[in-house]
Amino acid sequence: KYTKFSIYYYRINSLDQKTSIYNSSKNVDIPSGKQNTTATIHYNYSITPLGNTASTGTYYCEVKWSDTQKKGNGVFVLVRDTGYVNTSYGWEILVTLTVLLAVLSITATALLLWKRKASSNPVLCPRKNQPNILRQNVETQLPSASPLPPPVYD
């Protein structure tokens, strides 16, 4: 009774549509001395190639005898267009770091130059009728005998 059976492979997609993949009828001979005992026989079937994203779904194997049927739990298979892509962010990190350092360097240089310009004393040029303005400005700066410190940027 159980030596003749059929094996069915099919897929059920996300819309609960059943698509038959493969079926086969089997007739297994029982070796002498093995009658009325339970036997397990393995059947492997490979589904390749899966093709496109429409192949996504749960794949089942079902075995039918004349009065009984057994169905497996199913295996869910997700098919993508591109497959696995190994992403490497090496170049992106290098470019980002270089741009960030360049912006910080330019900003620091601009701030130092602005500070130097803002802290320097203005030089007054005398007019023909004001000959003592420059002399007075120089005289007010001379009493500090200490030498000027080098610029911060140097």
Cis, bond preceding 122 (omega within 30 deg of 0): no
pLDDT cut 90: percent of the chain above it: 24
Mean pLDDT of 37-44: 81
Q: How far apart are CA 52 and CA 10, in angstroms?
A: 16
Contact by Cβ (8 Å): 23, 7: yes
**Predicted pLDDT of residue 106:** 94
DSSP state of 79: -
Mean pLDDT of 78-102: 84
List the chain domain ranges: 4-29+41-77, 86-118
State pTM to two decimals.
Answer: 0.48
Residue 116 Cα to chain centre, angstroms: 46
- Residue 76 CB partners (closer than 8 Å, separation 6+): 57, 58, 59
What would the pLDDT profile of 80-90 be if each residue is shown by its tens digit?
777 667 777 78
Please determine, for residue 39, whether its predicted confidence score (pLDDT) is greater than 60: yes
Strand 69-71 vs strand 18-27: parallel, antiparallel, or unpaired? Answer: unpaired
Tokens of 11: 């897929």
Strand 75-77 vs strand 18-27: parallel, antiparallel, or unpaired? Answer: unpaired
What would the pLDDT profile of 116-134 be if each residue is shown by its tens digit?
777 665 555 556 655 554 4
